[in-house]
Every structure is written in structure tokens, then in C-alpha cells.
Amino acid sequence: MKKLFIFLILVIASFSYLQSQPSGQGRIAVLPFENAHGNMDYNVWCYDLQDSLAKYLQKRDPNEYNYRIVPIDSIEALLAEMNIDPANPQYASDIWKAVEKLNCQRVITGNFIVEGNKILINAYIYIPELQLADPNFQVKNIFKDTTDVLSAVEPIGKRLRPGILKIE
């Protein structure tokens, strides 16, 4: 009788846990931004933009009811394993090999170029199976001082987030 009681408690607890978990949310991978300038000194922004944008989106849905952000360390490990670097000219084509392994419904990434002390940033939501950017959810021509690069994250996140809330 005691074993049956414990079994029933475990079944009820498991059912309650499953009911409290979000269902149907999409997996979103935020990838490093491409350094279109080529100067290796700017590579830190590839990862800073990725990390800051992922954190921004996670804060907007902390319980993952609408979407789940693929952990940055999982993405970094996969990119390292596959030897994919945002500074490499082949990054734009190589990244799709990694995306296939991430099993996500949407990908967010972008690019930037630096001229003088200004940075121009573009960000996009991609549909992985098409390897194309969603034309409705793109952020182009965010222009910032190089001393204030990460202030671009909030406007990018605000404009792209509706696109990940509409995943079917």
C-alpha cells in the first residue's frame, strides 16, 4: 500500500510539473554577429551583441512561455567543434551547418561594420529551413558610436521580438 501511495504521489507530481511547463514554444538561437569590417579587434562585438541580445530576449520571457533561447554556451561549443568563426569570410554559409544541428525554429543574427568611431549594425530573424531572413522582422542601419555599441541591443530586441512571438 505504501508503494502504491508513493507511486501515485510521483505520478501526480510529474503531471503537475508537465502542466506547469510551457508548451509549444519555439527554440530560438541567437548567433554571433558577423564582423563585416574584418578587423580582428572588433571580434569581441560579435559575441557581445549575441550574448546581450540573448539576455535581453530571455528577460522578456523568463518562464519560457513563448520561446526558449538556446544557451549561448551550447552554441559556442558547437561553433568551436565545427571550427566556425564570425570573422571568417565563409561564416555566412558555414553557419547553416551549425543551425541544422541546433534544431531551432528561428535564428537571430546580424552583421556590423565599423567606420571611424561609428558602428553600423543590422540584425535579422532567419527561417532556418529557408535560410532566408524574414522580411517582416529585420532591423537595419542601427548607427552607434563605438563607445556605445551595446546600446543597440534594446532597439534591436524590441523590433525583433514580435517575430519570435509569432512562431507557429
pLDDT tens readout for residues 23-56: 457 899 999 999 888 788 999 999 999 999 999 9
Q: Is the pLDDT of residue 166 over 80?
A: no
The percent helix, strand, coil of the chain (3-state, each to 5) is 50, 25, 25
Tell me the backbone φ, ψ of residue 49, rounded to 5 degrees. Answer: -65, -45
The mean predicted confidence, pLDDT, of the chain is 86
Q: What is the mean pLDDT of the segment spanning 68-74?
A: 95
Instruction: Show me where the domains of the chain are located.
Output: 30-165
Strands 26-30 and 34-35: unpaired
* CATH number of the 30-165 domain: 3.40.50
Q: Is the pLDDT of residue 88 over 90?
A: no
Distance (Å, whole) CA 143 – CA 156: 11
pLDDT in tens, 119-151: 999 999 999 999 999 999 999 999 999 999 999
Inter-residue contact 66 to 88 (CB < 8 Å):
no
pTM value is 0.82
Inter-residue contact 134 to 125 (CB < 8 Å):
yes
